[in-house]
Amino acid sequence: MSQENLGQAKRVMDALSRRDLSRLLSFADPEVEWQSFFAELGEGGVYRGHDGTREYLSDLDDAWEIVRADVDDGVAVGDVAVLVGRIHYCGKTSGIETESAAGWMLKFRGGRVIRFRAFREPEKALEAAGLRE
């Protein structure tokens, strides 16, 4: 199951990068929680459920011309997948394009993402998954 979750995590990241709402909703559990450092307008930076998924993508779209994740590596253990790589982004207001290291932790239930957390430091994603001290 963990290899399937790793593949699914990469598909979730692709849907996020493309801002493909219908595809993202098909990957998301109805009780999904999204937590990202890019769109922290939700309640404490957390977006909940399918309505939260819509709000999360809308907030990303409002602030960023480009938000694209490039996954370099990943590991899955049980129902958790951790991806590390880089995030490319360009602010709509500033027009400045840049990239930085990032990490993502995704937890799955029944093949659908139930929890998503994005981190500015890849090591934090490993820590959140309990894979690094």
The 10s digit of each residue's pLDDT in 10-44 is 999 999 889 999 999 999 999 999 998 765 555 56
The 10s digit of each residue's pLDDT in 37-93 is 765 555 567 899 999 999 988 888 877 767 788 999 999 999 999 999 998 887 788
Please give the structure tokens belonging to residue 79.
């129902």
Give the chain's mean pLDDT: 87
Which pLDDT belongs to residue 101?
93
The 10s digit of each residue's pLDDT in 43-54 is 567 899 999 999
